[in-house]
Structure 1
Amino acid sequence: MRSGSIGASILLIAVGAVMAYAVTVDTEGFNINTAGVILMVVGAIGLVVSLISMFVANDRVDTHTETRYVERDRL
Structure 2
Amino acid sequence: MKFGPGIALLAIGAILAFAVSDNISGVDLTMVGYILMGAGALGIVLGLVLASSRRGTRSTTRRVVDDGTNPPREEVIRRDLQ
Give 4+ residue runs of structure 1 displaced > 4 Å after superposition: none
Whichever of the two has the greater Rg, that structure is: 2
| RMSD of Structure 2 on Structure 1 (CA) | 1.8
User: Higher helix fraction: Structure 1 or Structure 2?
Assistant: 1
Normalising to structure 1: TM-score of the pair? 0.75
Aligned to 1:55: 52
For structure 2, the residue ranges without an aligned partner over 5 or more in a row are 62-75
Within a 5 Å distance, the mapping from 1:1-75 to structure 2 comes to 5-62=2-59, 65-66=76-77
Gaps of 5+ in 1: 68-75
Count of residue pairs the alignment pairs up: 64
Whose strand proportion is higher, 1 or 2?
A: 2
TM-score (norm 2): 0.69
